[in-house]
Structure 1
Amino acid sequence: MSKTSKILDSFLVISYQRGNKKALEILVKRWNKRLCIQAYRYTKDWDLAKDVVQDTWHTVITKLFLLRDAASFGSWAMTITSRKALDLIRKNSKTRKIYESHVLVNNEVETSPIQTQEEQIGEILKMIPELPFDQQMVLKLFYLEEYSLKQISDITGVSINTVKTRLFRAREKLKSIIKNKEDEKRD
């Protein structure tokens, strides 16, 4: 998140807290897609993700007046989304089965000897579902969403050291997966 985005979010939160309803509309437009993507990462189902985000917005609207640090709106909303998605997964075993089948289906990776950087990144992204779920989330939040370790800690509800450990293990596991794929191609 850029500093400018955080400043704008802070301004919008403070404006809403002072009674400007239009500020909430702008926050929803700025954050709804990101929250849907976050929820989808957990649920692997767009309809469920949209339900989670709708529930998230209900919570955000009712508790936004209690948010003291307006600059933390993004990580706060992402945390609410993540926790609501996890609650839904815990309550709905069907969602868990959909997620597990999704991981099994998306494990295939094809690479050519000469790849552009974009193709290599695409191949690595296809390998992420092979990682344990907690490592997937940390990788995506750190590299794709560009959150800080502190923000990831807030979103996931674990300590910064746990985030660092998961990030390290995810990188190591990805290296191992890439090496195994390359070895398979040589054989």
Structure 2
Amino acid sequence: MEHGETGKFFQTASAGQERRKRPLTVEENRHSIIIRTDQPALLRKEIICWGEAEWWPKGSLMAFKRLSSGEVAVGTLYMQKVLLPLAPRWRVEVSEVTNGGISRRFLDGMFKGFEQVSFQRVAGGWRVEYAMHYEVCGSLNRFLWFLVFRRLHDRNIKEILGNLKIFMETQ
């Protein structure tokens, strides 16, 4: 089972104003997949190594380059980039590592916000979820995100989750 969704956060107007919903600038992009495995410790390890793992799609247009040494932990820095001419790149920092996943915050580039990869036990296996909470910075970046990069991002995440599923279910 796999799905992807995009949504906006909404706020209600304050007292004295006409009551209506108005969009904030923060977007949410989610994708999830069910993985059948009896190895949650291995699943956690592979999620923590997101972007560097052996199962990462060889032809993926999303590349991670670690800028810090040592084990992946809070504070680990990466350069993320789209492998296309004139495509965006940005730095991310690991902001949280838990028993259930990892979070990275965007430090610069076209996004403000953070992304998470997490997993939890569900009937029939483990739900792995990728969630990106973001704001696109700059008019040109917003135009390119909605014209090209958002669809490319969604396709890449689906491929990445699919590769993780194949890897985990064959271990």
TM-score by structure 1 length?
0.26
Normalized per residue, the structure richer in strand is: 2
With CA pairs under 8 Å and 6+ residues apart, which has the higher RCO, 1 or 2? 2
Normalized per residue, the structure richer in helix is: 1
Structure number with larger C-alpha Rg: 1
TM-score by structure 2 length?
0.27
